[in-house]
Amino acid sequence: MRRSATLLLAGTLLAGTAALPATAQAAPRDATAGAPRPVVFVHGRNAGPGVWGSLTERLTAAGTPADRIFAWSYDSSQSTNEVLAGRLAAYVDDVLRRTGAGQVDLVAHSLGSLPTRWYVKYGGASKVRNWVSLAGPNHGTGLAWACALWDQGCRDMTPGSYVVSRLNEGDETPGDVRYTTFWSAGDGQILPTSSTALSGARNVRVADMGHNDLLGDAGVAEQVLATLTAP
């Protein structure tokens, strides 16, 4: 069934998921500072930092202090390469300055995968340990044509767009960064669902679920935490 363009790739927080026990994983460590590595969450289209409530609870339960968890808020209708990647770069630099860390982990949902990838590929790789994409349109999604006429973020997500083409030319996973993607065959908004996977990344297929369901699913959260805490 065709979905409304106004809801395209918008993040939704799912309530009612129990927090992961604090003993399940250790907090991700920053070797340079001896403290948990900061995590920066980046939401999708028409969403906001609130979509990360469930994963934030799991991180804090696993031992990451609240002052090492950040959520970047941005206008998802703006250009990935001309505006957003630069603003994200400044945000990451501020996080590193405030925490004294040498690197961050980036965890993005949906559209957020594009500005985070652009940042990593074009200058930010040395400042990122893990890049994690939940249901990202990494090779575009045909559904984005529904709002591409008036929304730059949608245009950036269309298959073959300037942003998608530049991100995937040459090495799709450049630098000494650990790349992980999570995708679902039941996504419904990333078309085709194979768009999320990247060459050179660890590409994880999760149980069939909707696009926004990945944000609150306990199984996905456990795998994200395991990714961030891997040595």
| Integer Cα distance of 67 and 62 in angstroms | 14
Model pLDDT for residues 164-220, shown as the tens digit of each residue:
999 999 999 999 999 999 999 999 999 999 999 999 999 999 999 999 999 999 999
Which two tokens mark 229?
């805490």
| Integer Cα distance of 42 and 106 in angstroms | 7
Secondary-structure breakdown of the chain: helix, strand, coil percentages, each rounded to the nearest 5: 40, 15, 45
Does the predicted model carry a pTM greater than 0.85?
A: yes
Model pLDDT for residues 79-92, shown as the tens digit of each residue:
999 999 999 999 99
φ, ψ dihedrals at 70, nearest 5°? -130, 150
